[in-house]
Amino acid sequence: MSEPATVPLAFTERPPDEMAARADAFFREMDARRSVRDVSARPVPRALIERAIATASTAPSGAHKQPWTFVAVADADVKRRIREAAEAEERAAYGADGPPRMSDEWRAALAPLGTDWQKPFLETAPWLVVLFAQRTGRTPDGATVKHYYVQESCGIAAGLFVAAVHHMGLATLTHTPSPMRFLSEILGRPTNEAPMLLFPVGYPADDARVPDLTRKTLDEVAVWVE
């Protein structure tokens, strides 16, 4: 087996005080991030969505297979169809028309967020971006290619997408209607892809409000072995 092709690492070493300042600034910026459901219809240039997807695609992935597809939707009719299908699943989940799919415990956990089956942001947001996980890949001639650590890889890409959207000054949230097969059907995706996350992207509405929440402290989420 031949040696893999390599290139020199592009790395900039920074003084410790600059590293600390950059780390603090990025933490403060991301700590201000919130999931926004009150989204403005104000237009967002396609170039910004392109850049967010490109940033997400810098994520590490199993065997560098990059097993993701981002489908960006601005078409009003397609957004309407997505909203209608998502709300149909959400009505069943929340029990709007009968016994709920979600357990009492699950609905109690969601209560502080104030969510329900209605998802107007799916139609109001100027862009809907759907992340599809490629369970397998396909070569140009149609052959199947195995992918590795697909969920983990797509999860990292999703995190970078959210960070990129927030960093550029827009808002989003991670919407996961269940089941999500309707997204594959409406968007005409191949059978090797499975919808994973739906991101409405846009400016917050002028009167946007978010739940009054706190995040776990560092001591609650970190364990040190030194």
pLDDT, tens digit, for every residue of 27-65?
Answer: 999 999 999 999 999 999 999 999 999 999 999 999 999
Alpha-helix residue ranges (DSSP H) falling in 4-124: 16-31, 46-56, 76-94, 104-110, 121-124
Mean pLDDT of 105-110: 92
* pTM for this entry: 0.95
Nearest to 192 by CA among 158, 150, 161: 150
So what's the pLDDT on residue 140? Answer: 86
8 Å CB contact between 191 and 142: no
Residue 183 has pLDDT above 90, yes or no: yes
Domains (range + CATH), the chain: 36-76+120-205 (3.40.109.10)
